[in-house]
Structure 1
Amino acid sequence: MDYMDSGLRYTPKSDKDWDTSVQFLPASDNKKLEKKKGPGKIGAVIGVVIFAAVVALMTGLLVWHFHFRKDVRVKKMYSGSMRITNQVFEDAYENTNSTEFKALAKQVTSQLKTIYSKSPQLSKYYVGSTVQAFSEGSVVAYYLSEFRVPAGQEAAVDKAMSSMEKLVDKEQRTLFRPGNSLVFEDVVSSALDARLISTSFRNFFNFAEHARSNEVGQIQSPGFPDRPYPSNTFIQWRLRADHNYVIKLDFDTMNLEEDCKNDFVKIYDSLVAIESLVMVEMCGYFSPSEPLTFLSSGNVMLVTMATNDKKNFPGFRARVSQVRRGSKGTSCGGQLTGERGSFTSPNFPNYYPPHILCQWSIQVSAGKAVKLTFKKFFLSEPGQENQKDCRKDYVEVNGKKLCGDQPEGTVTETSNSNKMEVRFFSDSSYVDQGFDAEFEAIDVKDPCPKQFQCKNKRCIKSALRCDGWNDCGDMSDELNCKCNSKDITCKNGLCKPMFWKCDGVDDCGDRTDEQNCGGCKSGQITCKNSKCVSEKTHCDGRDDCGDGSDELDCGRASDTRCTDLTYKCKNNKCISKVNPECDGTQDCEDGSDEENCDCGRSMFKTSSRIVGGQDAEEGEFPWQVSLHIKGYGHVCGASIISPHWLVTAAHCVQDDGRTRFSQPGTWEVYLGLHTQRKIGNAVVKKNLKQIISHPNYNSFTYDNDIALMELDSPVTYSDYIRPICLPAPQHDFATGNNVWITGWGATREGGFAATVLQKAKVRIINHSVCNDLMEGQITSRMLCAGVLSGGVDACQGDSGGPLSSPGGSRMFLAGVVSWGDGCARRNKPGIYTTVTKFRGWIKEKTGV
Structure 2
Amino acid sequence: MDYMDRELRYAPRDNDWDTSVQFLPASDNKKLEKKKGLGKIGAVIGVVVFAAVVALMTGLLVWHFHFRKDVRTKKIYTGSMRITNQVFVDAYENSNSSEFKALAKQVTTQLKAIYGKSPQLAKCYVGSTIQAFSEGSVVAYYLSEFSVPSGQESAVDKAMSSMEQLVDKEQRTMSRPGNSLVVEDVVSSAVDSRLFSSLFSDFVRYSEHARSNHIGEIQSPGFPNRPYSPNTFIQWQLRADPNHVIKLDFDTMNLEENCKNDFVKIYDSLVAIESRVMEEMCGYYSPSEHLTFISSGNVMLVTMATNDKLDFPGFRAQVSQIKRGSREITCGGQLTGENGKFTSPNYPNFYPPRMSCQWSIKVPTGKGVKLTFKKFYLSEPGQDSENCRKDYVKVNGKKVCGEQPDNKVTVTSNTNTMTVEFSSDKSYVDRGFEAAFEAIDVKDPCPNQFQCKNQQCIRKELKCDGWSDCGDLSDEINCKCSADAITCGNGLCKPMFWKCDGVDDCGDKTDEKDCGLCKPGQVACKNNKCVSEKNRCDGRDDCGDGSDELDCGRVSGTTCTDLTYRCRNGKCINKVNPECDGTPDCEDGSDEAKCDCGRSMFKTSRIVGGQDAEEGEFPWQVSLHVKGYSHVCGASIISPHWLVTAAHCVQDDGRTRYSQPGTWEAYLGLHTQGNNGNSVMKRNLKQVISHPNYNQFTFDNDIALMELESPVSYSDYIRPICLPAAQHVFPPGNTVWITGWGATREGGFAASVLQKAQVRIINQTVCDNLMGGQLTSRMLCAGVLSGGVDACQGDSGGPLSSPSGTRMFLAGVVSWGDGCARRNKPGIYSTVTKFRGWIKEKTGV
- TM-score, normalization by structure 1: 0.93
Distance 1:344 1:795, change over 3 A: farther
Distance 1:184 1:527, change over 3 A: same
Query: What is the 5 A alignment of 1:101-112?
Result: 101-112=100-111
Which residue in 2 is equivalent to 1:33? Answer: none
Distance 1:198 1:762, change over 3 A: farther
Cα distance in 2, alignment partners of residues 446 and 10 from structure 1: 84
> What residue identity is the alignment partner of 2:600?
S
Q: 2:364 aligned with 1:365, yes or no?
A: yes
Is the partner of 1:687 in helix, strand or coil?
A: strand
Offset from partner CA, 1:53-93 (integer Å, 9 cap, x none): 99999986885466444511111000000011011111111
Which residue in 2 is equivalent to 1:32? Answer: none
Q: Quick one: which of 715, 739, 745 aligns to 1:742? A: 739
Query: What is the 5 A alignment of 1:412-451?
Result: 412-451=410-449
Q: Report if the CA contact (8 A) 2:268-2:296 is conserved.
A: yes
Which residue in 2 is equivalent to 1:310? Answer: 309
Which residue in 1 is equivalent to 2:382? Answer: 383
Q: Report if the CA contact (8 A) 2:744-2:751 is conserved.
A: no
Which residue in 2 is equivalent to 1:688? Answer: 685
Cα distance in 2, alignment partners of residues 53 and 315 from structure 1: 63
Q: Report if the CA contact (8 A) 1:612-1:791 is conserved.
A: no
Which residue in 2 is equivalent to 1:639? Answer: 636
Structure 1 residue 538 displacement after superposition:
1.2
Cα distance in 1, alignment partners of residues 143 and 214 from structure 2: 32
Is the partner of 1:156 in helix, strand or coil?
A: helix
Q: Report if the CA contact (8 A) 1:84-1:185 is conserved.
A: yes
Which residue in 1 is equivalent to 2:247? Answer: 248
Q: Report if the CA contact (8 A) 2:743-2:792 is conserved.
A: no
What is the total number of aligned residue pairs between the two structures? 818
Cα distance in 2, alignment partners of residues 727 and 518 from structure 1: 29
> What residue identity is the alignment partner of 2:314?
G
Could you list the runs of 5+ residues in structure 1 that have no partner in the other structure?
Answer: 13-36
Which residue in 2 is equivalent to 1:281? Answer: 280
Q: Report if the CA contact (8 A) 1:652-1:748 is conserved.
A: no
Q: Quick one: which of 828, 832, 835 aligns to 2:832? A: 835
Cα distance in 1, alignment partners of residues 699 and 773 from structure 2: 13
Offset from partner CA, 1:644-675 (integer Å, 9 cap, x none): 00000000000000111111111111000000
Q: Report if the CA contact (8 A) 1:787-1:825 is conserved.
A: no
Which residue in 2 is equivalent to 1:721? Answer: 718
Offset from partner CA, 1:102-123 (integer Å, 9 cap, x none): 1111111111011111100001
Is the partner of 1:165 in helix, strand or coil?
A: helix
Could you list the runs of 5+ residues in structure 2 that have no partner in the other structure?
Answer: 1-6, 19-24, 35-45
Distance 1:757 1:208, change over 3 A: same
Structure 1 residue 148 displacement after superposition:
0.7
Which residue in 1 is equivalent to 2:11? Answer: 5
Distance 1:170 1:573, change over 3 A: same
Distance 1:455 1:462, change over 3 A: same
Cα distance in 2, alignment partners of residues 469 and 846 from structure 1: 43
Which residue in 2 is equivalent to 1:206? Answer: 205
Query: What is the 5 A alignment of 1:744-783?
Result: 744-746=741-743, 752-783=749-780
Structure 1 residue 383 displacement after superposition:
2.9
Which residue in 2 is equivalent to 1:74? Answer: 73
Is the partner of 1:204 in helix, strand or coil?
A: strand
Q: Quick one: which of 526, 530, 533 aligns to 2:531? A: 533
Query: What is the 5 A alignment of 1:115-154?
Result: 115-154=114-153
Which residue in 2 is equivalent to 1:624? Answer: 621
Structure 1 residue 745 displacement after superposition:
1.1
Cα distance in 2, alignment partners of residues 142 and 575 from structure 1: 59
Offset from partner CA, 1:155-191 (integer Å, 9 cap, x none): 1100000001111111011002111111111110000
Distance 1:369 1:723, change over 3 A: same
Cα distance in 2, alignment partners of residues 9 and 157 from structure 1: 23
Cα distance in 1, alignment partners of residues 285 and 539 from structure 2: 47
Offset from partner CA, 1:121-168 (integer Å, 9 cap, x none): 001110000000000111100011000111111111000000011111
Distance 1:137 1:799, change over 3 A: same
Q: 2:155 aligned with 1:156, yes or no?
A: yes
Q: Report if the CA contact (8 A) 1:747-1:798 is conserved.
A: no
Distance 1:678 1:825, change over 3 A: farther
Structure 1 residue 198 displacement after superposition:
4.7
Cα distance in 2, alignment partners of residues 634 and 602 from structure 1: 23
Q: Report if the CA contact (8 A) 2:357-2:423 is conserved.
A: yes
Query: What is the 5 A alignment of 1:652-671?
Result: 652-671=649-668
Give % identity.
Answer: 77
Q: Report if the CA contact (8 A) 1:7-1:124 is conserved.
A: no
Q: Which moved more, 1:349-358 or 1:819-828?
A: 819-828
Q: Report if the CA contact (8 A) 1:6-1:125 is conserved.
A: no
Offset from partner CA, 1:346-400 (integer Å, 9 cap, x none): 000110000110011111111111111101011111232x531001100011111
Cα distance in 2, alignment partners of residues 782 and 794 from structure 1: 15
> What residue identity is the alignment partner of 1:377?
F
Cα distance in 2, alignment partners of residues 177 and 565 from structure 1: 82
Which residue in 2 is equivalent to 1:237? Answer: 236
Q: Report if the CA contact (8 A) 2:625-2:665 is conserved.
A: yes
Q: 2:390 aligned with 1:392, yes or no?
A: yes
Q: Quick one: which of 464, 485, 488 aligns to 2:486? A: 488
Q: Report if the CA contact (8 A) 2:15-2:65 is conserved.
A: no
Is the partner of 1:199 in helix, strand or coil?
A: helix
Offset from partner CA, 1:182-210 (integer Å, 9 cap, x none): 11111100000000115120011101000
Distance 1:583 1:57, change over 3 A: closer
Query: What is the 5 A alignment of 1:573-652?
Result: 573-608=571-606, 610-652=607-649
Cα distance in 1, alignment partners of residues 29 and 235 from structure 2: 79
Q: 2:512 aligned with 1:506, yes or no?
A: no
Which residue in 2 is equivalent to 1:25? Answer: none
Which residue in 1 is equivalent to 2:270? Answer: 271
Query: What is the 5 A alignment of 1:512-527?
Result: 512-527=510-525
Is the partner of 2:319 in helix, strand or coil?
A: strand
Which residue in 1 is equivalent to 2:558? Answer: 560
Cα distance in 2, alignment partners of residues 456 and 685 from structure 1: 48
Distance 1:713 1:104, change over 3 A: same
Which residue in 1 is equivalent to 2:569? Answer: 571
Is the partner of 1:109 in helix, strand or coil?
A: helix
Q: Report if the CA contact (8 A) 1:612-1:790 is conserved.
A: no
Cα distance in 2, alignment partners of residues 636 and 825 from structure 1: 21
Q: Report if the CA contact (8 A) 1:4-1:73 is conserved.
A: no
Structure 1 residue 616 displacement after superposition:
0.4
Which residue in 2 is equivalent to 1:550? Answer: 548
Query: What is the 5 A alignment of 1:162-201?
Result: 162-201=161-200
Q: Report if the CA contact (8 A) 1:81-1:142 is conserved.
A: yes
Cα distance in 2, alignment partners of residues 541 and 87 from structure 1: 81
Which residue in 2 is equivalent to 1:473? Answer: 471
Q: Quick one: which of 453, 461, 464 aligns to 1:463? A: 461
Q: Report if the CA contact (8 A) 2:787-2:821 is conserved.
A: no
Cα distance in 2, alignment partners of residues 631 and 39 from structure 1: 118
Q: Which moved more, 1:363-372 or 1:279-288?
A: 363-372
Structure 1 residue 533 displacement after superposition:
0.3
Q: Which moved more, 1:816-825 or 1:716-725?
A: 816-825
